[in-house]
Amino acid sequence: MQMDALDILTDLDNVIPYFQPIFSADEHKVIGYEILGRYKSESEIISLGPFFHDHQIPEEYKLEVDNTVLSKALEKAISLDDDVLLFVNRDAELLMHDNGEQFLQLLLEYQQRGISLERIVLEISERNYEGKPNHLDHLLNYYKTFGLKIAIDKMGNDSSHLDRIGQLSPDILKVDLGALKSTNTGPSYQAILDSLSFLARKIGATLLFENIEMVYQLQFAWKNGGRFYQGFYLHKPHCEFISRDLLKEWLKKEFQKFISYEKRKLEALYNISENFQEKIQNLLHKFKKYENYTDLLYSLAKYLDEIAFRMYVCDEDGFQKSPNIFKKDKNWILQNEYLKKNWSWRPYFLENIIRMRNEKKGILSDLYSDIETGETIRTFSIPLNNQDFLFIDLSYNYLYEHEGLL
């Protein structure tokens, strides 16, 4: 049902806050609520989202409704435990309309009534913002001096936020899992979300995954470093606060399943890696009298034909000491142009070299997309001696056929 803007403005008594709970991975309980605007008509409860997104409605009106929702929410929140976070959405354009004064004054008013500003998480949306970014940054950094936390949202579907992270040093990154509707989502999308986990850890921010609508998304969020979770799968927005321990036992059981699954997968990977170590060591022992590395690679290819699609040898500094031997159309071909190329710039390359040299054993890499073939692969690398190391790229078909490798 569409409501006329004037109907809402002349009936602020029926403008009410709804609260969507946010759960934590470490304590399995409610750690906060996102405040959402609703309008209570005679027949139903209507989201105020369309009202706030309507460009025809003057900003003063939106501001009034926004502040009505917030003040009613804060009034109710006085009864909450004093460690519960309150997530407040604000459009940057609206916030800057009065340089954020009304918003701050409202928060300061309720601080005197027991709601510390350190419990407020400001989710800032810059979608329609046309002002100067440095003015907004100045205001947000000013807010932070009062203890407010800053969250950047929609991280999963808009890479333009990445440049803002450096400017704002947010406390929370909100990742939208809306696009992760099924297990069929492409590996590149999953890789982007995976990298956000790494980014959050580097800048000391907490990851909050939102729009969780099925168990697969919850497991993905848990596996990718999510500390906070929200979505219809966990709990829908409601006009009242729920018991903080409502899902405690259920979440504990769900996470226990994730933990068991992940441990089984890691155990399988460890065993595969150990078996590979033994297999390659035996082959290297068998071909220890090779004339040069090209001969060695061709000898190995006969035994690894169903496993590998590329092999080469590098020294400890990443310089290639052999050509590539590459499987093309069921034949192994030599790629001499790779001789003397350097790969030390690759992530973890030198780290893995040192590990292999010190532990005197091979390493099975994580999954990644091969630059040349575009396929999802893993690489097994192993020391040949103290200076040189053999790299074996495992084919996607081999990974697909062996449980635990994909």
- What distances in angstroms separate CA 368 from CA 117, 346, 373, 388, 400, one per listed residue? 43, 12, 11, 23, 14
Q: What is the 3-state secondary structure (H, E, C) of 366-400?
A: CCEECCCCCCEEEEEEEECCCCEEEEEEECHHHHH
Q: Indicate the SS3 state at residue 11.
A: coil
- What is the sign, positive or negative, of the torsion defined by CA atoms of 336, 342, 346, 350? positive
- Element containing residue 39 per DSSP (H, E): strand 30-40
Q: Which residues contact 236 (CB under 8 A, 6 or more apart)?
A: 20
pLDDT recorded at residue 180: 75
CA-nearest of 261, 265, 308, 264 to 405 is 265
State the pairing for strand pair 206-210/172-176: parallel
Provide the CATH topology of domain 5-237+246-261: TIM Barrel (3.20.20)
**57: its two tokens:** 């409605």
Per-residue pLDDT of the chain (406 residues; tens, 9 = 90+): 456 788 899 999 999 999 999 999 999 999 999 999 999 988 899 999 999 988 889 989 999 999 999 999 999 999 999 999 999 999 888 899 888 999 999 999 999 999 999 999 999 887 767 777 788 889 999 999 999 999 988 665 555 566 677 778 899 999 988 877 755 566 677 777 778 888 888 889 999 999 999 999 999 999 989 999 999 999 999 999 999 999 999 999 999 999 999 999 999 899 999 999 999 999 999 998 888 999 999 999 999 999 999 999 999 999 999 999 999 988 999 999 999 999 999 989 999 999 999 999 999 998 888 888 888 899 999 999 989 999 999 999 999 898 778 8
Q: What is the DSSP letter of 320?
A: B
- What is the sign, positive or negative, of the torsion defined by CA atoms of 46, 50, 54, 59? positive
Q: What is the DSSP letter of 130?
A: -
Cα(326)–Cα(321) distance, integer angstroms? 15
CA-nearest of 7, 15, 10, 9 to 239 is 15
**346: its two tokens:** 């690759």
As beta bridge partners, residue 267 has none
Q: Which residues contact 171 (CB under 8 A, 6 or more apart)?
A: 121, 149, 150, 151, 205, 206
pLDDT recorded at residue 168: 82
Q: Which residues contact 144 (CB under 8 A, 6 or more apart)?
A: 150
**92: its two tokens:** 């940057």
* Portions of the chain given CATH number 3.20.20.450: 5-237+246-261
In sequence order, which ranges of 34-154 are alpha helices (DSSP H)? 49-53, 59-77, 92-95, 101-111, 133-144
Domain 282-401 annotated CATH 3.30.70.270: no
pLDDT recorded at residue 182: 57
Q: What is the DSSP letter of 405?
A: -
* Portions of the chain given CATH number 3.30.450.20: 282-401
pLDDT recorded at residue 5: 84
